[in-house]
Structure 1
């Protein structure tokens, strides 16, 4: 199907992009990598009056250090995030999760910020972003503001972004020396997660000193498994202790039932996959 007609603009700076959004109004759409937006346009599930292409905004690309954080530009592709040495050293969980996003073609075109802003609860980057306490830097006509991941994801496909605002970068606290794993359960390769678990841990000696666990597709937004984290901290890094902690994974979740799985099965998967993810992370 052919998309409905729309105006097109390709700004070269964040300020120009924000101005274009303000001028176009609520019926505008922002184009990043296009991996989510273009299919929606082709099916006419969205009919924007204006399409704002961020492909020429160079400042939105790349990974850099800023003290105790990494700063990832919103237009940085999944492929570049996967392979960036700073991400691999200081944010291993993001690298592991990005490895599972779709297929190589999508990872070369799709963008880190686009996936975050799309806010699909089955998307593979939301739970790691939440687990790592990332912060979203948002630009609007009034300047820039920073929103914690816990406050950024509001509901299904809904974020704290206002219609005239852009996600420009994501600040990721460094987790240097932490081990990480992303355990994903799906029907076929490259499909959306039915359930997935993002786990990153810091081990001292034979005990788990710190733990962060996020759940994918267990609610309308990504979920932080605080009960699991609390049970892991100070526990021995043994299969028995990890299984006991993972038994708390479904607490506080509200998964849906659909054609892929019912809610009870998703809660079972959350417990099972959490055990696997933490075990793999500790072993790494």
Structure 2
């Protein structure tokens, strides 16, 4: 389908973009890579009067080392993440998840922050960002500097985040997990499909024992989820299939996955346990 008619503007600063948002409260949408927004427009699920393109804003570009964290700007693409030595070294889990996203064309246009703001629970970046204890930086109009929102408070509901109507997600900051093992286990029927479900696991081992663990869940509820009970139970366990099987099988408890043509909720909970065991074992193996 062809989108409804809309005006297009490319602001020269974040504050200009925020001003445009506030001046068009009911009819404006932000666009970075457009890989989430454009399909919505083509299907006419949304019909904004104005599209504000922030992809050219230099202040939103780049991936930088901030000491104990890595900053990823709102205009940084998936491909920027894949090509970043900082991400490969310090945020291996995110790198692995992004590798599974769609195809090269989409990865060269889509952005990490755009996906986070879109908040599709089947998207592949929410779970690893949660597992890595990220902080989202959100800018308001007329305020000097963005304010931090922990990833644990960022995802509110289906396609809903803590970013206000006249606010902009400018960057995400992820604490370094240098030396941690990691693995993203994505379950799909065909290549490049949205995740039926996914498991983002990163662990720090001491010898053959798990010292710390982080586990994020993709498409197991209306938002990305953290499996905190499983994380706690993994600590102190030997990284063997026998030791981890029963713990990982409990990962679906308390979740509310969808039931659709790809599988019923109970099926997803069962598969999540299997994939969590695989992901944790692979992460522990380095």
The one-character-per-residue Cα deviations of 1:226-246 (angstroms, maximum 9, x if unpaired) are: 121111111111121121221
- Could you tell me how far apart the structure 2 residues matched to 1:26 and 1:226 are? 38
- Could you tell me how far apart the structure 2 residues matched to 1:99 and 1:241 are? 29
TM-score normalised by structure 2 residue count: 0.97
- Could you tell me how far apart the structure 2 residues matched to 1:254 and 1:102 are? 25
Q: Which residue in 1 is equivalent to 2:214?
A: 212
- Could you tell me how far apart the structure 2 residues matched to 1:83 and 1:231 are? 35
Q: Which residue in 2 is equivalent to 1:155?
A: 157
- Could you tell me how far apart the structure 1 residues matched to 2:182 and 2:126 are? 15
Q: Which residue in 2 is equivalent to 1:141?
A: 141
Q: Which residue in 1 is equivalent to 2:11?
A: 11
- Could you tell me how far apart the structure 1 residues matched to 2:260 and 2:134 are? 30
CA contact (8 A) 1:26 1:163 kept: no
Q: Which residue in 2 is equivalent to 1:118?
A: 118
Within-5 A mapping of 1:28-43 = 28-43=28-43
Q: Which residue in 2 is equivalent to 1:109?
A: 109
CA contact (8 A) 1:26 1:164 kept: no
Q: Which residue in 2 is equivalent to 1:200?
A: 202
- Quote how far apart the aligned CAs of 1:33 are: 0.5
In the alignment, structure 1 segments of 5+ residues that lack a partner are: none
CA contact (8 A) 2:98 2:124 kept: yes
- Could you tell me how far apart the structure 2 residues matched to 1:66 and 1:28 are? 33
SS at the partner of 2:183? strand
SS at the partner of 2:136? strand
TM-score normalised by structure 1 residue count: 0.98
SS at the partner of 2:108? helix
- Could you tell me how far apart the structure 1 residues matched to 2:27 and 2:123 are? 24
CA contact (8 A) 2:15 2:142 kept: no
- Could you tell me how far apart the structure 2 residues matched to 1:23 and 1:29 are? 12
Q: Which residue in 2 is equivalent to 1:252?
A: 254
- Could you tell me how far apart the structure 2 residues matched to 1:178 and 1:83 are? 20
- Could you tell me how far apart the structure 1 residues matched to 2:197 and 2:142 are? 38
Within-5 A mapping of 1:165-180 = 165-180=167-182
Within-5 A mapping of 1:84-99 = 84-99=84-99
The one-character-per-residue Cα deviations of 1:28-78 (angstroms, maximum 9, x if unpaired) are: 101110111111112211110111001220111111111211110011000
CA contact (8 A) 2:135 2:151 kept: yes
The one-character-per-residue Cα deviations of 1:58-103 (angstroms, maximum 9, x if unpaired) are: 1111111112111100110001101200011111110000000111
CA contact (8 A) 2:200 2:279 kept: yes
In the alignment, structure 2 segments of 5+ residues that lack a partner are: none
CA contact (8 A) 2:7 2:51 kept: yes
Of the structure 1 ranges 113-122 and 2-11, higher mean CA displacement relative to structure 2 is found in 2-11
